[in-house]
Chain A
Amino acid sequence: MIGAGSDPVVVAEGLGRDYREGFLMRPVSAVDEASFSLAPGMTHGLLGPNGAGKSTTLHLLLGFIRPTRGRATLFGRPPCDKESRRRLGFLPEVFAFDGFTTGRRLLRRFDVLAEHPAEGRESRVEAALEAVGMLDAAARAVKTYSKGMMQRIGLAQAILGDPDLVILDEPMSGMDPATRYSVRELLKARTDRGKTTLLSSHILSDVEALADRVVILDRGRVVADGRLDSLAPSRHGCIIVFRDDRPERFDAFLAGHRLARGSAGQASRDQRIEIVNNAVKQRVLAHLTAENAEIVSVTQREPGLESLFLELTHGRPREAVSPAGDPE
């Protein structure tokens, strides 16, 4: 048994890939010095803005392209090794299936290609179809499927035979909320069974709901790698902007809560307080209101992962502004 126990399922060591661009064929790095490892039995999120190198990283991990630098292993073996491929399921971002065949026949073919034993093939196929809610459409030609159904049959082929590692590139982009929920439950159940999932997605709420760890890429480099609860918890909170003739009278109160005020703008008398903890927010608001300060706004910061993602990838956090006096 390869890659047993707690050995990392996927390892990337100094992984880099250059492309040649332009008339002079200048090298441009799509991925540069990417190093991370994925522990077994967890769901890992791979995040990054467009062009960050996520798909290139996945293609390197899968052996579709060769690294310019560094190396990648799956289950301790090279990505193209058949032994590691037998334990792998993959749903590409840009994918299609041969439209002439039916969903059920397609899965049978993938079961053969995965070198699963002929015995139990039908039950594996039916289980995968049922897991993604495609039993009713299994006899239809793939070319008649909607985008969401294509996504689901794609997911079914990826989880066919319950592989030890599933790599999903934007798996839920075409799905309705109910299907997304059921797919989330499906992936959670996989993790509960000790299986590993690598999930690359732009839908941060999905990653936040599913992933135990995240790797964030920006401009081809790993800018964060760790457990979600250690990377993102301090990102909750809000910004209170208030107006008062003598704002310094609140300094002692704020210092008692390890907070400080600052100017909300050069041409403004308004004062700004950044608060991380929601319980503290309520006490500060109550105090300011009791002391007759005018609450101008309470801006809820985007929760956890999104805020972290935007900060690390040089994006600007989208701030949800709620009217004064209605902080919730």
Chain B
Amino acid sequence: MMGTYRALLARAMGRLASDRVALISSLIAILLLALGASRIAVGMSAVPDDDPSRLAAALRSAGWEIGSRFFDMLLWILTIALGLTFLDRDRTAGTVFGILARPVSRTSVFLTSWAAVALTLAALDWVRSGTLIVGASWLEGRVDPLHLLGVVAGLTGTWLLLTAFFSLSALLRPSYAALTGIAGLYLTAVAFYKHQMLSGAALVAVNGVSSLLPLGLRQSDVVMGALQGTTGDSGPVVEVILYRISWIALLLFVGAFAYSRRDITPRG
């Protein structure tokens, strides 16, 4: 059983390693990180270098703010692209049929494919997060647990986005999955800014629909506070992590169920 999961995970990781989209995105991400690093260095140069804690605070503040501008958009695009296409390309390339004819459950194919993409995104995210955690910890002389919790919360946000699109791609054709996912993202944004955008019946309707959606944006202030060190309370961050993990688990269950029930043929 574990041998099967290991073999499937190794295969999915191998697919990603040879995936041009993932490779090119990784290179762009590293390039963006280098660009961001120069901006961070400029921002930190204004801080007196005799106060390590202020330097660490400046690094976290500038690092995560600039990082979110440069890096997050790319990570989101990569997450959505891989989430929508990774499973389906296994079918259209014809690589999945030899696997499915073996005593291998579709759930294991789904979960290991998801895990491979999730680990890749985590590794990519860690290039940025790791740099900032190590840099800030070195300056402060300690590891701030809240900083780590913030990184975990940010990663669960990425994984939640991935899981939503991954499960949609297991449930629907890629084009429908893309449209549904983008509509979901739009609704999430409307739900987040609803009080500024809507009133009356529209507000009630969005409240109803958005109660069924994982609302990542609503917690972004909490996560950013933990990452930048502007809050000292870990409770809300842990709540965010648990909320996102619950949604990931639910969406994985739905996606695995849909993938195990659907037709999988070369024609689709």
Chain A residues close to B by CB (< 8 Å): 55-56, 59, 62, 64-66, 82-83, 85-86, 88-101, 109-110, 112-115, 118, 154, 157, 167
Q: B142 contacts the other chain (Cβ, under 8 Å)?
A: no
Q: Does B15 contact A (CB under 8 A)?
A: yes
B50 interface hit (Cβ, 8 Å): no
CB-contacts of B1-30 with A (<8 A): 3-4, 6-8, 10-11, 14-15, 17-18
Q: How far is the CB of A119 from chain B (nearest CB, A)?
A: 13
Does B14 contact A114, Cβ atoms closer than 8 Å? no
A64 touches B264 (CB 8 A): yes
Name the distance in Å between A90's Cβ and chain B's nearest Cβ: 4
**B119 CB to nearest chain A CB (Å):** 17
Which residues of B are found within 8 Å of A95, using beta-carbon distances? 94-95, 97-98
Chain B nearest CB from A322 CB (Å) reads: 42
15 further A-B contacts with Cβ under 8 Å, apart from A98-B15, A115-B103, are A55-B265, A56-B265, A64-B265, A85-B103, A86-B103, A90-B101, A91-B98, A92-B94, A92-B98, A96-B93, A98-B95, A101-B14, A109-B10, A113-B99, A115-B102
Q: Which of A56, A65, A100, A113 contacts B102 (CB 8 A)?
A: A113
A109 to B97, alpha carbons, bound, how many Å? 14
Which chain B residues lie closer than 8 Å to A85 at the CB level?
A: 101-104
**Nearest opposing residue in chain A for B12, CB measure:** A98
With contacts A66-B263, A112-B3, A114-B102 taken as known, whether A92 is within 8 angstroms of B97 at the C-beta atoms is yes
Taking a contact as CB atoms under 8 Å apart, the answer to whether A113 and B4 are in contact is: yes
- Residues of chain A within 8 A (CB-CB) of B98 are 90-92, 95, 97, 110, 154, 157
Contact between chains at A64 and B14 (CB < 8 Å) = no
Instruction: Assess the A98–B14 pair: CB atoms within 8 A.
Output: yes
- Shortest C-beta distance, A58 to chain B (Å), equals 10
**Residues in chain B near residue A109, CB distance under 8 A:** 7, 10-11
Is B42 an interface residue when CB atoms closer than 8 A count as contact? no
Residues of B within 8 Å of A59, CB to CB, are 265
Does B266 reach chain A (CB closer than 8 Å)?
A: yes
Closest to A59 in B: B265
How many B residues, CB 8 Å from partner?
27
Residues in A whose Cβ lies below 8 Å from that of B105: 82
List 9 tightest A-B contacts by C-beta distance, closest first.
Answer: A90-B101, A85-B103, A100-B18, A82-B103, A94-B266, A65-B263, A92-B97, A113-B102, A112-B7
Interfacial chain B residues near A62, Cβ < 8 Å: 100-101
Would A114 and B94 be within 8 Å (CB), given that A59-B265, A64-B263 are in contact?
no
Q: Is the CB of B95 within 8 A of A115?
A: no
Q: Smallest CB–CB gap between B103 and chain A, Å? A: 4
| Cα(A110)–Cα(B11), bound, Å | 11
CB distance from B81 to the nearest CB of A (A): 19
Which chain A residues border B95 with CB–CB below 8 Å? 95-98
Interface residues of B in 84-100 (CB under 8 A from A): 93-95, 97-100
Shortest distance from the beta carbon of B58 to any chain A beta carbon, whole Å: 43
Residues in A with CB closer than 8 Å to B263 are 64-66
Q: With A and B bound together, what is the CA distance between A115 and B8 in angstroms?
A: 13
Residues of A within 8 A of B11 (CB): 98, 109
Find the B residue at minimum CB distance from A167. Answer: B101
Give the complex CA separation of A32 and B10 in angstroms. Answer: 40
Known: A65-B264, A65-B265, A85-B102. A115 touches B97 (CB 8 A): no
9 A-B Cβ contacts within 8 A? Answer: A86-B103, A88-B102, A94-B94, A97-B98, A109-B11, A110-B102, A113-B7, A113-B102, A114-B102
Docked Cα-Cα span, A88 to B103, in Å, equals: 9
Give the Cβ gap from B98 to chain A, nearest Cβ, in Å.
6
A111 CB → nearest B CB, Å: 9
* Complex: chain B residue closest to A101, CB-CB: B14
Q: How far apart are A96's CB and chain B's nearest CB, in angstroms?
A: 4
**Given A59-B265, A98-B95: A88 and B3 interface contact (C-beta under 8 Å):** no
Q: How far is the CA of A101 from the CA of B95 in the complex (A)?
A: 12
Within 8 A of A (CB), among B148-183: none
A113 touches B97 (CB 8 A): no
Give the complex CA separation of A86 and B98 in angstroms. 13
Is B14 touching A90 in the complex (CB atoms < 8 A)?
Answer: no
The minimal Cβ–Cβ distance linking B97 to chain A, given in whole angstroms, is 4
Q: Which residue on chain A has the smallest CB distance to residue B101?
A: A90
Which residues of chain B have C-beta atoms less than 8 A from A98's C-beta?
11, 14-15, 18, 95
Interface string of B237-268 (1 = CB under 8 A from A): 00000000000000000000000000111100
Q: Determine how close the nearest CB of chain A comes to the CB of B25; give it in whole angstroms.
A: 18
